[in-house]
Structure 1
Amino acid sequence: MDRSAFPHFHAISTRWKDNDVYGHVNNVEYYSFFDTVINEFLIRTGGLDIHRGPVIGLCVESQCTFKASLAFPDPVDAGLRVAKLGNSSVTYEIGLFRGGSAEPAALGRFVHVFVDRENRRPVPLPDELRAALEGIA
């Protein structure tokens, strides 16, 4: 899967602290990059109100396949697409690309279930959010 598979991108700057003792971005930071591109999209495009909205997304599954190392000060282009859109769940695919590269440094999978903020029970995706997600499916 290359860059052309992803309809949405968000630029992420690596930080000095992201590197580990082996001189590359530590694996846990890749998951942070996944969270960043997904939530940036949901907030800016899907209208998700993370502070006061009645619906929140909970991560129920995540996975990463590492292809190449990233290191500070590499810029990262995080690509996002929807692989599966359910009634209350979304499966995303994410590609992390060293700035400008056509081939990914990592590929990820991330599943959100949207729930009522108060009782944490699954709820249908709000219309605005669903429309935004359909745009990158």
Structure 2
Amino acid sequence: MPLQDRPRRRQYRAFVPIQTRWADNDVYGHVNNVAYYSYFDTAVNTLLIGAGVLDVHSGETIGLVVETGCLYFAPLAFPEALTVGLRVAKIGRSSVRYELAIFREQEDTAAAAGHFVHVYVNRQTRRPVEVAGRLRAVLEGWAEGNE
């Protein structure tokens, strides 16, 4: 993907700062691909908890990851300060597709971009539940096109 086609900050609705850790680097001297998924997971859950729509310890509804993917545009390394941008691409009956991008602290174009799909389920039964109420309202606020 050419530089001009990389995602830009203005395309995202919510942001979470992430600090790389020493353990994120691999033997090649850059952040290992698995760490990007950790950054995505951290950003999504930080935003949901901050919005008051996810209680990881005792909430009745939880989101399970059923799909994820990432495109890498530029290497990152410890000790860089990063920002993860998030937007909601699609809200289904029981699922949501988040689109995320990882930016260096002062850069406008993404170093990586990916997606993350949650299916919301009942904590006990693990059966899908409808995305409704306050959760749906928060997700709609992060949806593409909501300026």
Q: TM-score range, shorter-chain basis?
A: over 0.9
TM-score (normalizing by structure 1): 0.97
Which of 71, 81, 87 is the aligned partner of 2:77?
A: 71
The one of 6, 10, 21 equivalent to 2:16 is: 10
- Residue of structure 2 equivalent to 1:26: 32
Structure 1 residue 79, shift from structure 2 partner: 0.2
AA of the residue aligned to 1:136: W
Query: Is residue 107 of structure 1 aligned with residue 106 of structure 2?
Result: no
SS at match of 2:135: helix
Shift of 1:126: 3.8
Deviation of residue 46 (structure 1)? Answer: 4.2
Q: TM-score by structure 2 length?
A: 0.91
Aligned-pair identity in percent equals 55
Runs of 4+ in 1 over 2 A off after TM superposition: none
- Tell me how far apart the structure 2 counterparts of residues 66 and 47 of structure 1 sit (CA, whole Å): 30
Give the superposition deviation at 1:71. Answer: 0.4
Which residue, 87, 98, 110 being the options, matches 2:104?
98
**Amino acid across the alignment from 2:54:** L
Mapped to 1, the partners of 2:112 and 2:44 lie a distance apart of 15
- The equivalent of 2:130 in structure 1 is 124
Which structure 1 residue ranges, 5 or more long, are not aligned?
Answer: none
Structure 2 unmatched ranges of 5 or more: 1-6
Distance 2:89 2:32 in 1: 26
